[in-house]
Amino acid sequence: MSDKKKRKRQYTPRKGYSKEQYRRDTMQAYGVLTGIAVALVFVLIYFMFIHKPSADAKQAADVPQTVTVKKVIAGESVSEVSASDENGSSTSEPQDSSSAVTTTVTQAGNETAKPTEKAQEAAGHKLEVKNGITYVDGIMIVNKTYSLPADYAPGLDPTAEAAFNEMASQAWSEGVSLFICSGFRTYREQDMLYRNYSSQRGTDEADRVSSRPGHSEHQSGLCMDINTTEFDFAGTKEAIWLANHCADYGFIIRFPLGKESITGYAYEPWHIRYVGKKAAKEITDQDLCLEEYLGVTSDYKNSSDQNG
Ligand SMILES: [Zn+2]
């Protein structure tokens, strides 16, 4: 900046406004500014070190609790002790809560719903996977969540077949005719059936009444469609007899009326599943479906195979 310009900008007192007066006014202005600055520093210190979190901040501090519960449900060796630890620290040390919130929320964001829901499976039950087949409390589970390997092809289970024959002969003696309409199906057969359904009726409807390959119980060899797969089987004397007596032979009506949201399938009065007499009695007496009995879901979203 040139001297000329500097001089131009220099203060020229108005008439009657002395240089001394100007100096005092300037000092006063500086004083006020300093005062404001000091006040700001105090406010800053107050919020950084002294201030307790407000209701909003407390609400934010609750976030890790929810996340922790999720983690515990996820069951990835996160114990309940660590959960209470985290809750404790977020309440007793509020100044740390903001950073805790940020990191934990990030974790929650990374957690997809899939492993969380999956880990809720069979809580309080014994879940085992042998050769790609899932057993809960020793009962093989095949549904929308749990599938069978494509090469699993045991044929109709001999125990289930013997139980059916015993049941059918008793029914026959009471004037009721029961026969197996469809028993064991291979992965490939199911694949073709499902493709047929979904091309004719769309995926949503196909998923209500049919199974994607690997997810059909018919591939387990433990279930059978009795007499028909037409809905007008419901209410016939055969359907009524079957519903009333199949548990005595170790079978359950696998997809009961009113349980579609749990089993994932529409009511099928003809589809029976062999689970053994003890489980069949308990399931039937308590009016449960197999998913409720074993504490598992039936949802392709929770499935880990490529068809789910
Ligand atoms: Zn069936």
User: Considering 111, 268, 291, 292, which one is annotated as catalytic?
Assistant: 268
SS3 157: coil
- Return the pLDDT at 19: 75
Whole-number Å distance between alpha carbons of 171 and 25:
111
What pLDDT shows up at residue 308?
65
Give me ligand 1 centre to Cα 271, in Å: 5
How many angstroms is it from 216 CA to the middle of ligand 1? 8
- 272: nearest Cα among 136, 163, 131, 153: 163
Question: Residue 216 in 3-state DSSP?
Answer: coil
Alpha-carbon distance 11 to 19, whole Å?
A: 10
Over the chain (308 residues), the average pLDDT of each successive run of 10 is: 54 67 80 78 68 45 36 34 35 37 32 47 93 97 97 98 98 98 97 95 93 97 97 97 98 97 96 98 98 97 82
Q: How far is the CA of 274 from the centre of ligand 1 (A)?
A: 12
Distance from C-alpha of 108 to C-alpha of 192, rounded to nearest angstrom:
40
133-136 β-sheet, strand order: 127-130, 133-136, 139-140
Distance from residue 269's CA to the centre of ligand 1 (Å): 9
SS3 206: helix
At 199, list the tokens. 């091309």
How many residues would you count in the chain?
308
Please state, in angstroms and rounded to a whole number, the distance separating the CA atoms of residues 78 and 29: 61
At 158 the pLDDT is 98
Question: Which of 149, 240, 160 is CA-nearest to residue 188?
Answer: 149
273 CA distance to ligand 1 middle (Å): 9
Rounded-to-integer distance, Cα 254 and Cα 275, Å: 10
What's the gap in Å between 226 CA and the centre of ligand 1?
Answer: 8
CA distances from 248 to 143, 275, 282 (A): 24, 11, 11
Secondary structure of residue 269 in the 3-state scheme: strand
- Cα–ligand 1 centroid distance for 229 (angstroms): 7
Helix (H, G, I), strand (E, B) or coil at 257: coil
What's residue 12's pLDDT? 61
Task: Establish whether 189 is a catalytic residue.
Answer: no
- Which pLDDT does position 93 carry in this prediction? 37
CA 298 – CA 305 distance, rounded (Å): 13
The token duo for 105 is 């929320």
| Distance in Å, CA 10 to ligand 1 centroid | 98
